[in-house]
Amino acid sequence: MEAILLALAGLILAPLAGGLISGIDRKLTARFQGRVGPPIVQAFYDAAKLWGKETTVANPWITFCSWVYLVAAAASVVLFFLQSDLLFIFFVQAVGAVFLVIGALSVPSPYSQIGAQRELLQILAYEPLLILVIAGIYMTTGSFKIEAVFAHERPLLLELPLLFVVLGYALTIKLRKSPFDISGSHHAHQEIVRGVYTEYTGRNLALVEIAHWYETILILGFCALFWATNWIGIAILLLITYMLEIVIDNVSARLSWRWMLGSVWVVGLCLSAVNLAWVYFV
């Protein structure tokens, strides 16, 4: 019964929380830019409006890929709530990310093609970092299970501080925030129309938006593991982390894909190597 309740919480509450976080993000971003901004629940209005629009597709694969992307994102969050294996969760979310790209590549639109290629580069940038973060958690707790993290006596942030910074890189890319929003952006400053989202319309785009809410909760869940000893610490850590993401998004210019790969790999891999070596020898 407990497992069923946790699964339902992940399936139902996660997108609601993700939509609210998206609304708060847009509101704070508008305030930073001297605008009033939309209401906090605007993300839900947008998704409902998209769901009611006519859906036109240039290739039936887009609809299929939209659903796979959503199902993979939802499944990864449910598995996280069930305190499953971190590696398994990683590979489930990776399947969804790949199908988002496949849908964009299935049509000849140049904007969609460019966005899909850039999305592949982003996946290439952040997924090795997530693997290293998971490896660090395993070296510290002795298990890939999330329940082992909650059973650990000390907050992981005290033992894996550099890997938390590395996770911040992955968070910025996954949330598609500057300076790493090269494949697609939720803001109006995207130079390739909607990038990887260009050919997703109507209900398909609504599915993608909902999947993005799930992904937001998933990556914040990874951040929460770094202070899993008490809920107050988790709340404070997530609040500070997301506020930093919003600030970075508003003060940074978009980098090219070459700068993204170079900076993420050099800095991320170096920090990961130092932290993993420290954990291993200490």
Summarize pLDDT for 127-147 with one digit per residue, the tens: 999 999 999 999 999 999 999
Alpha carbon distance 195, 152 (integer Å): 42
Alpha carbon distance 215, 174 (integer Å): 8
Alpha carbon distance 197, 208 (integer Å): 8
Q: Are the CB atoms for 115 and 198 separated by under 8 Å?
A: yes
- Which two three-digit tokens encode residue 129? 């970092």
Specify the range with the lowest mean pLDDT, choosing from 103-117, 120-134, 183-197, 255-269: 183-197
User: What distances in angstroms separate CA 199 from CA 3, 73, 116, 140, 155, one per listed residue?
Assistant: 38, 20, 11, 43, 43
The percent of residues above 70 in pLDDT, for the chain, comes to 96
Q: How confident is the model at residue 102 (pLDDT cuts 50, 70, 90)?
A: very high
What average pLDDT does range 181-189 have in this prediction?
Answer: 66
Q: How confident is the model at residue 261 (pLDDT cuts 50, 70, 90)?
A: confident
Alpha carbon distance 40, 80 (integer Å): 26
In the chain, the number of structural domains is 1
- What's the pLDDT tens digit per position in 200-247? 888 999 999 999 999 999 999 999 999 999 999 999 999 999 999 989
pLDDT for 276 equals 93
| pLDDT at residue 96 greater than cutoff 90 | yes
Q: Are the CB atoms for 134 and 141 separated by under 8 Å?
A: no
Q: Count CB neighbours of 157 within 10 A.
A: 17
Q: What is the mean pLDDT of the chain?
A: 89
- The whole-model pTM stands at 0.92
Q: How confident is the model at residue 255 (pLDDT cuts 50, 70, 90)?
A: confident
pLDDT for 77 equals 95
Q: Which domain holds residue 50?
A: 2-281
- What's the pLDDT tens digit per position in 2-46? 788 888 888 999 999 999 999 999 899 888 888 888 899 999 999
| pLDDT at residue 192 greater than cutoff 80 | no
pLDDT for 29 equals 87
More confident of the two residues 75 and 33: 75
